[in-house]
Structure 1
Amino acid sequence: MKKHIYALLLAATQIIFAQEENKWSGARPDGHAPISVMGDHTHGKGEVMFSYRYMYMNMDELNRGSENVPFSNALRPNDIYMVTPTSMPMNMHMLGAMYAPSDKITLVGMVNYLSSEMDHVTAMGGSFTTQSSGFGDTKVSALYKFFNKNTQQLHAQVGLSIPTGSIDEEDVTPASSPNEVILPYPMQIGSGTWDAELALTYLKQWGTLSFGSQARTTLRTGKNDNNYRLGNKYSINNWVAVKALDWLSFSGRIELGAIDKIEGINPVLNPMMVITADTANSGMTYANAGLGFNLYAFKGNLKDLRLGFEAALPVFQNMNGVQLRTKETLTLGLQYAL
Structure 2
Amino acid sequence: MKKYICAIIFMAIQLVSAQEDTKTNWSGSRPDGHAPISIMGDHTHGKGEFMFSYRYMYMNMEDLNRGSENVAFSNALRPNDVYMVTPTSMPMQMHMLGMMYAPTDKITLMAMVNYLLQEMDHLTAMNGTFTTESSGFGDTKIAALYKFFNNKRQQLHGQIGISIPTDSIDEEDVTPASSPSEVILPYPMQIGSGTWDTEIAITYLKQWSEFSFGAQARTTLRIGENGNEYRLGNKYSFNTWTAFMANNWLSFSGRIELGAVDKINGINPDLNPMMIITADTANSGMTYANAGLGFNLYAFKGSLKDLRLGFEAAMPLFQNMNGIQLRNKETITLGLQYAL
TM-score, normalised to structure 2's length? 0.94
1:180 alignment partner, one of 170, 175, 182: 182
Paired with 2:55 and 2:32, the residues of 1 have a C-alpha distance of 17
Paired with 2:167 and 2:286, the residues of 1 have a C-alpha distance of 23
Q: Say whether 1:141 aligns with 2:143.
A: yes
Q: How does 1:111-126 map to 2 (within 5 A)?
A: 111-126=113-128
Report the residue type matching 1:240 in the other structure.
T
1:159 alignment partner, one of 158, 161, 169: 161
Q: How does 1:214-293 map to 2 (within 5 A)?
A: 214-293=216-295
Q: Is contact 2:23–2:151 with CA below 8 Å preserved after alignment?
A: no
Shift of 1:22: 1.3
1:300 alignment partner, one of 296, 299, 302: 302
Q: Give the corresponding residue for 1:45.
A: 47
Q: Give the corresponding residue for 2:72.
A: 70
Aligned partner of residue 280 in structure 1, secondary structure? coil
Paired with 2:233 and 2:104, the residues of 1 have a C-alpha distance of 35
Q: Give the corresponding residue for 1:36.
A: 38
Paired with 1:267 and 1:139, the residues of 2 have a C-alpha distance of 28
Report the residue type matching 2:111 in the other structure.
G
Paired with 1:334 and 1:311, the residues of 2 have a C-alpha distance of 16
1:107 alignment partner, one of 106, 109, 120: 109
Report the residue type matching 1:155 in the other structure.
H
Q: Between Structure 1 and Structure 2, how many residues are aligned?
A: 321
The alpha-carbon distance between structure 1 residues 30 and 188, as it changes in their structure 2 partners (threshold 3 A), is same
Aligned partner of residue 43 in structure 1, secondary structure? coil
Shift of 1:272: 0.1
Shift of 1:333: 0.1
Shift of 1:190: 1.0
Paired with 1:98 and 1:224, the residues of 2 have a C-alpha distance of 29
Paired with 2:23 and 2:251, the residues of 1 have a C-alpha distance of 20
Report the residue type matching 2:28 in the other structure.
G
1:97 alignment partner, one of 74, 96, 99: 99
Aligned partner of residue 188 in structure 2, secondary structure? helix
Aligned partner of residue 23 in structure 1, secondary structure? coil
Shift of 1:306: 0.1
Q: Say whether 1:321 aligns with 2:302.
A: no
Shift of 1:21: 5.7
Aligned partner of residue 261 in structure 1, secondary structure? coil
1:196 alignment partner, one of 178, 194, 198: 198
Q: Say whether 1:57 aligns with 2:55.
A: no
Paired with 2:190 and 2:23, the residues of 1 have a C-alpha distance of 48
Report the residue type matching 2:70 in the other structure.
N
Paired with 2:23 and 2:284, the residues of 1 have a C-alpha distance of 48
Structure 2: runs of 5+ lacking an equivalent: 1-20
Q: Is contact 2:22–2:152 with CA below 8 Å preserved after alignment?
A: no
Runs of 4+ in 1 over 3 A off after TM superposition: none
Report the residue type matching 1:146 in the other structure.
F
Report the residue type matching 2:93 in the other structure.
N
Kindly provide the CA deviation profile for residues 177-224 of structure 1, in whole angstroms up to 9, marking residues without a partner as x.
Answer: 000000000000010000000000000000100000000000000000
Q: Give the corresponding residue for 2:207.
A: 205
Which of the pair has more CA radius of gyration?
1
Paired with 2:264 and 2:258, the residues of 1 have a C-alpha distance of 20
Kindly provide the CA deviation profile for residues 12-55 of structure 1, in whole angstroms up to 9, marking residues without a partner as x.
Answer: xxxxxxx9961000000000000000000000000000000000
Aligned partner of residue 75 in structure 2, secondary structure? helix
Paired with 1:223 and 1:50, the residues of 2 have a C-alpha distance of 33
Paired with 2:262 and 2:294, the residues of 1 have a C-alpha distance of 29
Report the residue type matching 1:160 in the other structure.
I
Q: Give the corresponding residue for 2:133.
A: 131
Aligned partner of residue 93 in structure 1, secondary structure? strand
Paired with 1:73 and 1:153, the residues of 2 have a C-alpha distance of 50
Paired with 1:137 and 1:64, the residues of 2 have a C-alpha distance of 30
Q: Give the corresponding residue for 1:4.
A: none
Paired with 1:279 and 1:217, the residues of 2 have a C-alpha distance of 21
2:85 alignment partner, one of 63, 83, 86: 83
Q: Is contact 2:153–2:207 with CA below 8 Å preserved after alignment?
A: yes
Q: Matched residues, percent identical?
A: 81
Paired with 2:80 and 2:117, the residues of 1 have a C-alpha distance of 32
RMSD (CA atoms): 1.1
